[in-house]
Structure 1
Amino acid sequence: MNQQSSFKEFMSNRFVRAILLSGLFLQLGIWVRNFSVLLFVMEQTNEDPFAVSLISVAEFAPIFIFSLIGGTFADRWKPKKTMIWCDLLSALSVFLVLFTLLFATWKVVFFAMLISSILSQFSQPSGMKLFKLHVPESQLQMGMSIYQTIIALFVILGPVIGAFVFQQFGIELSIAITGIMFILSAGVLTFLPKDRVEEKKEVETTVLEEFAQGFKYVKKNKFLTILGANFFVAGLAIGLIQPLGIFIVTEQLNMDKEFIQWFMAINGVAMIIGGGIALALSKKVTPIRMLAAGMIVNAVMISIIGYSEIVWLSLTAQFFTGLMLPAIQISISTMILQNAEEAFVGRVNGIMTPLFMGGMVLMMSLAGLLKALIGLGFSYQLSAFFMVIGVLFILPFVLDRPMRGKVTPGVKMLK
């Protein structure tokens, strides 16, 4: 009953309703864009691994480059206004890409990924800042769980919708739908509570000074520093296999490329179940232990997918990978919010994300080359190895029940 009333209280929050509806529109647009671009590029290049890996680079490289800048500005700018403008500018960029696509080379589709990915680096930390402002700390883990459930739903629905739109109507309509969804998201965000009027600081700081303060803040916190190392190797693990999933389907399982939508759908079903389990365990298991458990299970399952040539075994491993993914994502988001003061949320998020994305982009760039050099199966074993290394980084905190050691003033201990 207590959890039920807490959920009702959470959903009665005006901020929560608006941010979740905005997330629905964004997820729909992003999945239509991502999946239609994937199928379009594979058609245009005759399934060239290098071209397929470039899609992921175009989507994730800006995250590495712009995340820290976006996090710094998120701590300076009004978060609601920042998010609305980012969605509107994303929509404008998508329509410009659509216009160019009608008259120029097909390669312009990469810019649809690139520009909206850059803008999301200003919007996403602003959303985290608003979560810190408008959601009580006791409900943060619940909020992250529900948001991850929405993402899981679109892991199932997104590929099916994206493939259907692309196959029925082509790349132009797919890109147009993405732009419309960004506009709808911006409209919903206008219902967020007004931005708080910040008191003027006695001494004004420059962007570069605030940028440097963010690094000092993380450096003084032992937990955040080690968590950053964990993020980096996790990025290496995920980045290596991110562009290779399509080849597991076509080469190792000998299925048509369209089968990937069902391969991903089972992952999404598992994510929904995993989100519910993570929510139920959130009061009993600390986020750091959730993170470790999720990474260990994922290491085993990635290894199995890399070796398996049996469809049911690969789907089972894919299911368990999805089952643990919410535990990883929820624990990461919760720990950042719990261990950073409001004034530094954007910058902490902006420092952590490039560590993860830097590793991810590095390995995505090399994924096609590694596949050619060492093979698909061994690439997956290398990814599993990186996951294990990530667990070893955080193991002292997993084994140490109360987190001892100095932390930055104002930063809370792990709960």
Structure 2
Amino acid sequence: MSGETSFLRNRFVQAILISGLFLQLGIWIRNFAVLLFVMEQTNEDPFAVSLISVAEYAPIFVFSIIGGTFADRWKPKRTMVWCDILSAISVFAVLLTLVLGSWQVVFFAMLISSILSQFSQPSGMKLFKVHVPESQLQMGMSMYQTMFALFMIIGPVIGTVVYSNFGITVSIMITGIMFLLSAMALMFLPADKEVKKEQEQTTVIQELVQGFRYVLNNRFLTILGANFFVAGLALGLIQPLGIFIVTQQLQLDKEFVQWFMVVNGVGMVIGGGLALLLSKTVTPIRMLAAGMLINAMMISIIGFSTNLGLTLTAQFFSGLLIPAVQISINTMILKNAEETYVGRVNGIMTPLFMGAMVIMMGSAGILKQFLGLMTSYQISAVCMIIGVAIILPLVLKQQAQNNIKANM
């Protein structure tokens, strides 16, 4: 039986992929329904629209490490099922309030769901560690990431079509149903393992501190965390500036930015598939180094280029390599963290990346104003190269180990 066949016959894989499908449908329908609804209600008020992002991303900083700690304390299957059920309940509560006439509660739907995902996501990572053989972890992450990349293309279309045809009430109702279907799919996961309780019980705070100590005492995870932070700086700086590449660098109408993003999304879908194919032959650390190095080159080209064809080509290849970076990092976290610490390690790493992204997203406008668009993109490229330099010792160490094995 081939590795792909045995992987897809894994009961955990089947349940988690079906759950992910329902979850992505619900999230994208909710996101775009809320976005379009708020824009209509506020006459496109930028502050109100920005609150949507705050409701979606703020819980990552507050609850990620807490959620990771509880993922290590609680039974992961039960945690994921209840998170989806509670998300559905919160969505239906918002629906009831909408019917009664208070539209502002749509922010509550985003906030509660985002908080619960900080408990569910590390639990999912923990289950990957438990139920997927180490040799198939990279394949699993590749398949999971490809699904997310695909929804980055079709998700906005689905969300817009549903809202345009049925309105906010039906969109929110469908979202709640999707969350319930995700919970039902998760019910088919293998039962949680019964773990013998230690005689000496530890508190949440003690376990949280243990998580930080574990990462700091693990050289591989510390280097990976530094790389994660720098990658967040690089991507956060250029994320808000894509519109200016279109309008200022390429001298095109602002509406063209949607095609700019579609090219990137198509690259991500294909990149996820390529990462899946290469997962048997290319180690995660090499994939990460190659992905960041080539991404640095593409970001630099986008910053310099005034030619539409060259810019779109670089944008495509930049998207092509993003899954390699994300898949490699997730795979290495799973391979190098003990099962009892997976949730906390994931909870520590995620705010490093997101925090760096948000810092640079907030600074991007100022840097562009003082340094210019081209220079901002070159700074992002340099950050990516610094990220490669940080993990270079790990790449060389693995190369040396491979040479020793080859000579034995």
Alignment match, 1:410? none
Structure 2: how far apart are the matches of 1:252 and 1:168? 36
1:401 partner SS: helix
Contact kept? 2:237, 2:360, Cα under 8 Å: yes
Structure 2: how far apart are the matches of 1:105 and 1:342? 45
Contact kept? 1:53, 1:367, Cα under 8 Å: no
Total equivalences in the alignment: 400
Alignment match, 1:123? 120
Alignment match, 1:141? 138
Contact kept? 1:156, 1:266, Cα under 8 Å: no
- Is 2:321 the partner of 1:321? no
Higher mean C-alpha deviation, range 197-206 or range 236-245: 236-245
Q: Deviation per CA, 1:244-294: give whole Å up to 9, x if none.
A: 44555566653454x555433332322232223222322332211211111
Structure 2: how far apart are the matches of 1:127 and 1:245? 32
For 1:191-210, list aligned pairs within 5 A: 191-210=188-207
For 1:336-415, list aligned pairs within 5 A: 336-368=333-365, 370=367, 376-401=373-398
Alignment match, 1:286? 283
Structure 2: how far apart are the matches of 1:38 and 1:296? 35
Between the aligned residues of both structures, percent identity stands at: 72
Q: 1:201 to 1:359 in 2, by over 3 A?
A: same
Q: TM-score, normalised by structure 2?
A: 0.88
Q: 1:299 to 1:44 in 2, by over 3 A?
A: farther
* Amino acid paired to 2:128: F
Q: 1:385 to 1:173 in 2, by over 3 A?
A: farther
Find the partner of 1:227 among 201, 224, 228. Answer: 224
Q: 1:262 to 1:38 in 2, by over 3 A?
A: farther
Find the partner of 1:20 among 10, 13, 17. Answer: 17
For 1:250-265, list aligned pairs within 5 A: 254-255=252-253, 257=255, 259-265=256-262
1:106 is displaced (CA, Å) by 5.3
Greater helix share, structure number: 2
Higher mean C-alpha deviation, range 150-159 or range 325-334: 150-159
* Amino acid paired to 1:8: T
1:203 partner SS: coil
2:2 partner SS: helix
Find the partner of 1:266 among 260, 263, 277. Answer: 263
1:155 partner SS: helix
* Amino acid paired to 1:278: A
Q: 1:136 to 1:361 in 2, by over 3 A?
A: same
Contact kept? 1:91, 1:183, Cα under 8 Å: yes
Structure 1: how far apart are the matches of 2:170 and 2:333? 38
Structure 2: how far apart are the matches of 1:255 and 1:35? 23
2:398 partner SS: coil
Q: 1:174 to 1:88 in 2, by over 3 A?
A: same
Alignment match, 2:405? none
Q: TM-score, normalised by structure 1?
A: 0.86
For 1:173-184, list aligned pairs within 5 A: 173-184=170-181
Q: 1:9 to 1:107 in 2, by over 3 A?
A: same
Find the partner of 1:303 among 294, 300, 304. Answer: 300
1:67 is displaced (CA, Å) by 0.9
1:331 is displaced (CA, Å) by 0.5
Q: 1:36 to 1:330 in 2, by over 3 A?
A: same
CA RMSD of aligned residues (A): 2.8
Q: 1:29 to 1:104 in 2, by over 3 A?
A: same
